[in-house]
């Protein structure tokens, strides 16, 4: 009679062989087993398993499906158009993200909300406060891997702020924490532009930005060209007016990131704010750009109010 294992099902010699295997050998054994099962599945079932494996961090199944060439690595879900990389990145599955990128997954594809995998990491940071330290560390490792793999550090959600802009808002509105500060530092290390017009940033985070600005100005001989990002977000435009920053206003208009007669949540236009602040040069600039006079005022009256 053959010697049996403790469970009485597998020959003891086989159990000893399995125990002696390396992790990579065990992965290959599991992968072969998964492949046998996948061969019996229809196309939709395999596709469901593909996205499920990415979400759950099941790197063995991900490898098995790619080995079978049953799914294209950049395949998108019908729902929200996420790729496997989107799913794995947001869930903090570093091994899956790494394997997908090695297998040719694009770091630039957007889902139906306009998010790249890098932007998904920034969004995950918003909801990470109750998560484990291990999960947070993996988010940072994935962010660094995406950036090293060519992800656009300046990428924006369509019509909204950039990755850095999103994290600065999270840091301000959700309570500053070590994860967001480390993520912000990582983005600055990869030369992210600073979103213009975000106010109320916590002091320690503002210090990070100030240190980065000082370093940038030193490297670029005092020039701010390329330092700031002017995105489609109204408070940036109105903040430029309040700051009496005509150069920034020029950039907003030249890049079509703002219209001269845009209104804020108080239904004020830029020239309304300029009059209140007494910025005479800004008033003249806005009129030259086609701004409507507030309340039918003449230019002379506007300047007199200032």
Supply the pLDDT for residue 195: 86
Average pLDDT of the chain is 83
* pLDDT(20) > 80: no
Q: What is the pLDDT of residue 56?
A: 96
- Report, as an integer, the average pLDDT of 222-234: 73
Residues in the chain: 306
Q: Which parts of the chain fold into alpha helices (H)?
A: 12-20, 23-38, 43-56, 59-68, 84-91, 94-102, 117-126, 133-148, 163-173, 178-189, 203-219, 234-242, 246-254, 270-277, 280-288, 299-305
Q: Above 50 in pLDDT, residue 5?
A: no
- Kindly state the greatest CA–CA separation across the chain: 108
- Which CA distances in Å does 25 have to 12, 21, 30, 154? 19, 6, 9, 41
Checking if the pLDDT of 6 tops 50, the result is: no
pTM, two decimals, is: 0.74
pLDDT band at 74 (very low <50, low <70, confident <90, very high): very high
Q: Is the pLDDT of residue 1 over 50?
A: no
Residue from 47, 37, 50, 126 nearest 88 by CA: 50
| Of 109-118, 157-166, 204-213, the least confident | 157-166
Confidence check: pLDDT of 149 > 90: yes
pLDDT value of position 295:
63
> Rounded to the nearest 10 degrees, how much is the dihedral formed by the CA atoms of 154, 158, 164, 170?
-170
Distance of alpha carbon 146 from alpha carbon 96, whole angstroms: 12
Mean pLDDT of 218-242: 79
> Taking residues 46-75, what's their average pLDDT?
92
* Least confidently predicted of 26-30, 43-47, 103-107, 115-119: 26-30
- Which range, 104-113, 151-160, 173-182, 218-227, is most confident? 104-113
Angle between the 94-102 and 43-56 helix axes, to the nearest 10 degrees?
A: 130
* Lowest mean per-residue pLDDT among 122-131, 153-162, 232-241, 258-267: 232-241
Percent of the chain residues topping a pLDDT of 90 = 42
Of 128-137, 142-151, 227-236, the least confident: 227-236
- Higher-pLDDT residue of 155 and 255 is 155
pLDDT of residue 41: 66
Query: Looking at residues 295-303, what average pLDDT do you find?
Result: 57
CA distance 219 to 22: 49
pLDDT tens-digit profile of 266-280?
888 999 999 888 898
First to last CA, the chain: 102
**Among 205, 217, 224, 164, residue whose Cα is nearest residue 188:** 164
Q: Report the SS3 class of residue 298.
A: coil
């Amino acid at each position: 009679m053959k010697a049996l294992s403790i469970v009485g099902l597998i020959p003891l010699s086989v159990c000893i062989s399995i125990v002696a295997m390396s992790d990579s050998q065990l992965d290959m054994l599991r992968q072969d087993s998964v492949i046998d099962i996948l061969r019996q599945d229809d196309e939709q079932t395999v596709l469901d398993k593909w996205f499920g494996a990415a979400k759950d961090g099941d790197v063995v199944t991900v490898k098995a499906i790619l080995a079978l060439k049953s799914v294209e690595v950049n395949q998108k879900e019908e729902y929200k158009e996420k790729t496997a990389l989107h799913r794995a990145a947001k869930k903090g599955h570093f091994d899956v993200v790494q394997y997908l990128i090695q297998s040719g997954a694009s770091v630039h594809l957007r889902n139906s909300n306009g998010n790249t995998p890098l932007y998904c990491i920034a969004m995950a940071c918003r909801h990470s406060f109750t998560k484990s330290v291990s999960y947070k560390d993996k988010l940072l490792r994935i962010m660094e891997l995406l950036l090293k793999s060519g992800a656009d550090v300046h990428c924006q959600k369509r019509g909204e702020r950039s990755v850095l802009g999103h994290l600065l808002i999270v840091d301000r509105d959700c309570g500053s924490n070590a994860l967001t500060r480390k993520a912000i530092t990582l983005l600055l290390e990869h030369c992210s532009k600073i979103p213009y017009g975000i106010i109320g940033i916590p002091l320690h985070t503002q210090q990070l930005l100030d240190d980065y600005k000082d370093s940038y100005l030193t490297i670029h001989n005092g020039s701010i060209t390329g330092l700031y990002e002017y995105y489609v977000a109204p408070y940036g435009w109105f903040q430029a007016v309040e700051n009496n920053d005509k150069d920034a206003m020029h950039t907003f208009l030249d890049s079509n990131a703002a219209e001269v007669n845009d209104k804020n949540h108080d239904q004020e236009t830029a020239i309304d704010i300029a009059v209140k602040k007494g910025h005479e040069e800004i008033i003249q600039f806005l009129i030259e750009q086609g701004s409507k006079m507030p309340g039918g005022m003449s230019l002379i009256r506007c300047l007199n109010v200032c």
